[in-house]
């Protein structure tokens, strides 16, 4: 991915001695894999003069086994747990301070994305585009938004989960795992998929929790034990899917999340520990540091805008004769490298403006952060429309709900002026 001209200069100002550089690399790798998969999941083409929208990846014979390697979101959530515990160790924030900052870091870059979603959806509808087609497109580009809901939930629970981890680590793991298994069992026996959404809580919190173990470096010097954990988690996952207890498609197991994601998270984090010395040597290279820093400082921008940029590139393809081959055809696959390159270039150009929203401004003198009740209310109004999109899929009305919810979140989290007496 292209780098801004001052990336190298800004990278030089970062204290790399305090960072786990393999973690930075893994975070960038995970997001780029997700972005590329999303770009290939939705195929837009023209056949007999009509626009066709399909899912070309699912047609490939190698798709299902590839999802075991392409499903990297458990790793990202585990690394989020690492970053969370590391942040608490360095700054020891209050629960309100931490949740407010993390909510702002998700809500601020998400708000302009929803402005674009809402404007595009309603302008197309009012211009006479088939409402069904508008919703299909919105549903496609809104697919990645489940992440914001799940990650916001984990971050809001982080102060409590850190306290439980410090006091009752084993019990916490056991309870979360048992609850996840119970939810999956109830879902299978009842046939009600909606029950599985309870694991939005248990599965992702468990995966975040194993990131705490990584932050404590419990396994970095126990490589044989780590290898055993990796093999055990991989073997158990294989048993569960080969015996059809769970679906072999790891993307199917994503929403609602289920137990295979826990095992994937354990295996992926164990593999990261095993590869840590090799990745450390790789990250000593200046080029690797600059590339990871350039992308890592705008991860939420890359994730939030990639589907919009892909849609714009696809729109340009409509203007070119034969620019949109039929999805999954040989011509379509041959065009993917150029489409991906153009999309990443557009993401980079967009990030030059949009990444400013990832930075949370510090509190000015004479102001204070809102209290915990206000912060939790802000989390709720941001979470609800995001979760609704996750469950139902995005449409015109949910773009508005998400936009209003995020705007209200920022209002609730705005700094309060201190009284003169208190000042």
pLDDT tens for each residue of 12-63? 445 555 689 999 999 999 999 998 998 888 888 887 777 787 888 888 889 9
Give, as one character, the DSSP assignment of residue 416.
Answer: E
H runs (alpha helix) in 127-198: 131-141, 146-167, 169-190
Residue 276 belongs to domain spanning? 7-359+367-416
The β-bridge partners of 51 are 46
Average pLDDT over residues 398-420: 92
pLDDT of 423 higher than 50: no
* Token code pair at residue 419: 């009284």
What is the biggest distance separating any 2 CA atoms in the chain, rounded to whole angstroms? 74
pLDDT of 419 higher than 80: no
Residue 422 belongs to some domain of the structure: no
Rg, Å, the chain Cα set: 22
Residue 279 belongs to some domain of the structure: yes
Helix (H, G, I), strand (E, B) or coil at 317: helix
Residue 1 belongs to some domain of the structure: no
pLDDT tens for each residue of 170-226? 999 999 999 999 999 999 999 899 999 999 999 999 999 999 999 999 888 899 999
End-to-end CA distance of the chain: 47
* Token code pair at residue 252: 């199917």
Confidence at residue 205, expressed as pLDDT on a 0 to 100 scale: 98
Confidence at residue 108, expressed as pLDDT on a 0 to 100 scale: 96
Half-sphere exposure of 266 (CA within 13 A, CB side): 21
Nearest-angstrom CA–CA distance, 276 and 10 = 25
* Token code pair at residue 400: 């508005």
Confidence at residue 58, expressed as pLDDT on a 0 to 100 scale: 86
Residues 6+ apart with CB under 8 A from 221: none
Q: Look up the pTM and report it.
A: 0.90
Taking a C-beta distance cutoff of 8 angstroms, is the pair 274, 227 a contact? yes
SS (H, E, C) 292-323: HHHHHCCHHHHHHHHHHHHHHHHHHHHHCCCC
Confidence at residue 15, expressed as pLDDT on a 0 to 100 scale: 55
> Which strand (E) or helix (H) includes residue 44?
strand 43-47
Average pLDDT over residues 362-371: 88
The β-bridge partners of 417 are 367
Confidence at residue 16, expressed as pLDDT on a 0 to 100 scale: 56
Say if residue 334 is preceded by a cis peptide, omega within 30 of 0: no
Residue 128 belongs to some domain of the structure: yes
The β-bridge partners of 47 are 50
Nearest-angstrom CA–CA distance, 362 and 101 = 10
Taking a C-beta distance cutoff of 8 angstroms, is the pair 144, 34 a contact? yes
Helices 372-392 + 146-167 axis angle, to 10: 130
Which residue is listed with tokens 């990444």?
Answer: 355
* Token code pair at residue 99: 């949740």
Strand 416-417 to 367-368 pairing: antiparallel
Tell me phi and psi for residue 245, to 5 degrees. -70, -35
Nearest-angstrom CA–CA distance, 142 and 365 = 39
What's the total number of domains in the chain? 1
pLDDT of 6 higher than 80: no
* Token code pair at residue 254: 């994503």
Please list, residue by residue across 410-419, b when 16 or more beta carbons sit within 10 angstroms of its beta carbon and e when fewer do: eebbeeeeee
What confidence category does residue 420 fall into, taking pLDDT thresholds of 50, 70 and 90? low
CA angle 199, 100, 167 (to 5 degrees): 60
What confidence category does residue 5 fall into, taking pLDDT thresholds of 50, 70 and 90? very low
Half-sphere exposure of 301 (CA within 13 A, CB side): 20
> Which strand (E) or helix (H) includes residue 52?
strand 50-54
Percent of the chain with pLDDT over 70: 95
Taking a C-beta distance cutoff of 8 angstroms, is the pair 362, 20 a contact? no
Confidence at residue 9, expressed as pLDDT on a 0 to 100 scale: 46
Nearest-angstrom CA–CA distance, 7 and 133 = 40
The β-bridge partners of 416 are 368
What is the pLDDT of the chain when averaged over all its residues? 90
pLDDT tens for each residue of 271-315? 999 999 999 999 999 999 999 999 998 999 999 999 999 989 988
Q: How far is CA 261 from CA 120, 208, 215, 234, in A?
A: 34, 12, 20, 11
Residue 223 belongs to some domain of the structure: yes
> Which strand (E) or helix (H) includes residue 368?
strand 367-368
């Amino acid at each position: 991915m292209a780098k801004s001209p001052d990336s190298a200069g800004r990278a030089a100002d970062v204290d790399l001695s305090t960072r786990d550089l393999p973690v930075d690399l893994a975070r960038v790798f995970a997001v780029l894999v997700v972005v590329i998969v999303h770009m290939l999941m939705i195929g837009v083409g023209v056949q007999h003069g009509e626009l066709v929208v399909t899912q070309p990846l699912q047609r490939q014979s190698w798709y299902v086994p590839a999802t075991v390697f392409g499903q990297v979101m458990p790793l990202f959530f585990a690394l989020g747990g690492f970053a969370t515990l590391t942040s608490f160790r360095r700054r020891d924030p209050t629960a309100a301070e931490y949740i407010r900052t993390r909510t702002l870091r998700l809500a601020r870059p998400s708000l302009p994305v929803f402005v674009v979603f809402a404007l595009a959806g309603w302008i197309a509808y009012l211009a006479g585009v088939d409402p069904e087609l508008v919703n299909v497109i919105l549903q496609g580009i809104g697919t990645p938004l489940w992440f914001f809901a799940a990650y916001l939930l984990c971050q809001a629970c982080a102060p409590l989960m850190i306290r439980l981890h410090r006091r009752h680590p084993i019990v916490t793991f056991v309870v979360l795992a048992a609850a996840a298994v119970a939810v999956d069992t109830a879902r299978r026996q009842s046939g009600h998929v909606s029950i599985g959404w309870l694991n939005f809580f248990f599965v992702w919190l468990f995966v975040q929790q194993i990131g705490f173990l990584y932050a404590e470096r419990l396994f970095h010097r126990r490589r044989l034990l780590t290898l055993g954990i990796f093999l055990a988690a991989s073997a158990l996952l294989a048993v569960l899917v080969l015996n059809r207890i769970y679906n072999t498609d790891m993307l199917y197991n994503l929403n609602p999340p289920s137990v295979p994601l826990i095992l994937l998270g354990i295996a992926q984090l164990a593999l990261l520990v095993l590869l840590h010395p090799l990745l450390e040597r790789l990250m000593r290279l200046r080029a690797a540091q600059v590339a990871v820093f350039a992308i890592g400082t705008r991860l939420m921008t890359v994730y939030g805008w990639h589907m919009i940029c892909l849609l714009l590139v696809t729109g340009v393809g409509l203007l070119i004769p034969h620019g949109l081959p039929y999805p999954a055809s040989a011509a379509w696959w041959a065009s993917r490298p150029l489409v991906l390159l153009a999309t990443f270039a557009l993401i980079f150009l967009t990030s030059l403006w949009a990444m400013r929203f990832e930075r949370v401004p510090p509190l000015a003198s004479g102001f204070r952060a809102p209290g915990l009740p206000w912060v939790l209310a802000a989390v709720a109004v941001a979470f609800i429309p995001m979760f609704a999109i996750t469950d139902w899929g995005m449409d015109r009305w949910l773009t508005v709900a998400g936009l209003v919810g995020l705007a209200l979140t920022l209002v609730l989290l705005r700094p309060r002026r201190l009284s003169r007496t208190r000042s």
